[in-house]
Amino acid sequence: MERQFVIDDLKLGESWRLFRIMGEFVEGVEALHDIGPAVSIFGSARTPPGDPAYERAVAVAAAFVREKFTVITGGGGGIMEAANKGAAEAGGTSVGLNINLPHEQTPNPFANIQLNFHYFFIRKVMFVKYAMAYVIMPGGFGTLDELFEAVTLIQTQRIRPLPVVLVGSDYWSGLVDWIRARLLDDEMISPEDIDILQVIDDPEEVVRAVKKVVIL
């Protein structure tokens, strides 16, 4: 009988968790529904101001705002802060989708729309749902996770094709070379799959690459 009570308590906990999940989805949709054309910019939370990648992220975000795009980031420090800063200082809409983590992830002050998520998967849906392009700055496991999830969704036609731009050839060229040498040459992916990725250095060229595909 005691075991049955434990099982019932677990079921009740799972049921209430569904309401929390639904609540996060509703909050995200209501907050982002009217943001207009947007790009999601990803990168390391550990990149400090003054680092070339940080300053490039500021420039990339500002360049998108000048072309009437909203900028969406993960809302934390480093590259995320840089992109929100570039967007806000350029007078644009700067969105931060923060995630509650035990370390590293503190909301930056430059997002003029801020949301906090408990569940990673809901946050990821918001990145994809409202982005017309993915811009990937240098980063670690979290950045790679977002990159390959987007590429997989495009490859499997689960979302509409959208530009995926890797910013910084010095950082990303080794990864792209490995993908060609191992995944493509070993026929783990198709030739057209590699075309999902673009490697670009110049902030203005990043925006032009997106605008070739995205019609505002």
Beta-bridge partner residues of 70: 38
How confident is the model at residue 12, as a pLDDT?
54
Q: In Å, how far are 28, 59, 66, 69, 133 from 36, measured between CA atoms?
A: 14, 20, 14, 7, 13
pTM (predicted TM-score): 0.90
pLDDT for 87 equals 98
- In angstroms, the CA 131 to CA 84 distance is 15
Q: For position 214, what pLDDT does the model report? A: 79
Residue 11 has a pLDDT of 61
SS3 assignment, position 107: coil
**What are 209's strand-pairing partners?**
none
Q: What is the structure's pLDDT at 171?
A: 98
Confidence (pLDDT) at 101: 76
Nearest alpha-carbon partner for 24 in 119, 111, 106? 119
pLDDT digits (tens, 9 = 90+) for 175-194: 999 999 999 999 999 999 99
CA–CA dist 89, 20 (Å, integer): 34
Kindly list the domain boundaries of the chain, sorted by start residue: 34-211
Rounded Cα distance between 56 and 78, Å, is 12
Strands of 197-200's sheet, edge to edge? 113-117, 94-99, 70-73, 38-42, 134-136, 164-167, 197-200
The stretches in the chain having pLDDT less than 70 are 1-12, 103-105, 215-216
Q: Does domain 34-211 have CATH number 3.40.50.300?
A: no
